[in-house]
Homo-oligomer: A and B are copies of this chain.
Amino acid sequence: MSTTKAPEELLKSLRTGHRFLLTSHMNPDGDAVGSSVGLARILRSLGKGAVVWSHDEVPKLYRRLAGSDRIHVGDSPPSGFPESFDAVITLECPSLDRSGLESMLKELPIINIDHHLGNEHYGVVNWVDTAAPSLGEMIYRTARGLMVELDQDTATALYLTLITDTGGFRYSNSTPAAFEAAAALVNEGAQPTQVAQWLYESQPESAIRLLGEMLPTLEIHGERVATTYISSEMFERVAANTSDTEGLIDHPRSIAGVEAVALLRQVDENQFKVSLRSRGEVDVEGIARRNGGGGHRNAAGFLAQGPLEELRQKVVTELEEALD
């Protein structure tokens, strides 16, 4: 359980500075966007200047957050950089290069806030709490340390980080601290129904139709391995976007008894993107790495050559080996 307070050194640097640049990692997720927007709003409520700079675009899913439209996006720095800023605050960047803005950020003192293992402590202030359920939960503790009352939009931004990073309170980081922060944030105006609607009930029609194309291809091999595929033809038939494939693999993975899953998506006539998922101790990262890809123990992927049925059989064999 993570119950430590935000360190005094951090609070002091936030209290004494006047104008901050905030940034997070490339390809920002809900935690990156929500904690950037949330901290910027907290600093502004104290009368300070705060500019959020993101190397990459904010995904559409998170653009409903108030203030996300003020994020400065791209390679070139915001106006007044670096001279008008006292410090840069990095959020969720275990190393500075994860920001995509490394060479420029080095021109400012760095305040490094993170919850990842292996953070390189590259800042003048470093607060790394690997027990934190989301970076946004650390920002919530920062607000408490600064004695800032959150308004509804700030509470919503930080609440969203909890939902996205804990998978809607389904992952093992759904700790007492995660629920305690959620209780406080809802008390301060975050709306669980609203955030759930943004995240789970705003699917493009094409994503639902693509799921309908994929499911009939489901095969269960033995009891513990399942495979599905999406051909280019299916993809075109429902006018799908790449983002529509997100989460599709969770459906075969949700079948009782299934412990390892592969989704083969055709990206070229004879080329497939292979996504792998597993439960618990079953390691699919090794399979991905041997095939030139990567990922984590329970979620990994690689690119491979077809034909489809040959590739499918090869992947099934590798998954069965991983299960043993």
CB distance from A241 to the nearest CB of B (A): 13
Could you tell me which residues of chain A, from 135 to 192, have a CB within 8 Å of some CB in chain B?
Answer: 166-172, 174-180, 182-184, 186-187, 192
Contacts of A203 in B (CB 8 A): 254-256
Asked whether A220 is an interface residue with its Cβ less than 8 Å from the other chain, the reply is yes
Asked whether A267 is an interface residue with its Cβ less than 8 Å from the other chain, the reply is no
Tell me if A186 and B193 are in contact (CB < 8 A).
no
Tell me if B255 and A205 are in contact (CB < 8 A).
yes
* Size bracket of the A interface: 35 or more
Number of copies: 2
Residue of B whose beta carbon sits closest to that of A177: B183
Residues 198-240 of chain A: 1 if any B CB is under 8 Å from the residue's CB, otherwise 0? Answer: 0011111100110111111010100000000000000000000
Tell me if A175 and B186 are in contact (CB < 8 A).
yes
**Given B170, B212, B216, which contacts A218 in the complex, CB threshold below 8 Å?**
B212
Q: How far is the CA of A183 from the CA of B184 in the complex (A)?
A: 11
Tell me if B215 and A211 are in contact (CB < 8 A).
yes
Contacts of A180 in B (CB 8 A): 179-180, 183
Residue of B whose beta carbon sits closest to that of A183: B179
- Are A256 and B215 also in contact (CB < 8 A) when A168-B168, A176-B183, A179-B186 are? no
Tell me if A211 and B174 are in contact (CB < 8 A).
no
Asked whether A104 is an interface residue with its Cβ less than 8 Å from the other chain, the reply is no
CB distance from A201 to the nearest CB of B (A): 5
**Given B204, B254, B279, which contacts A208 in the complex, CB threshold below 8 Å?**
B254
Query: Which of A166, A196, A204, A213 has the most chain B CB atoms inside 10 A of its CB?
Result: A196
CB distance from A190 to the nearest CB of B (A): 10
Q: Which 9 residue pairs are nearest across A and B when measured between Cβ atoms?
A: A212-B215, A179-B183, A170-B196, A174-B192, A202-B256, A179-B182, A176-B187, A176-B183, A180-B183
18 A-B pairs besides A176-B186, A211-B215, A212-B214 with CB distance below 8 A are A167-B196, A170-B192, A170-B196, A170-B200, A171-B192, A172-B192, A172-B193, A174-B186, A176-B187, A178-B183, A179-B182, A203-B254, A203-B255, A204-B256, A205-B220, A208-B251, A211-B251, A212-B215
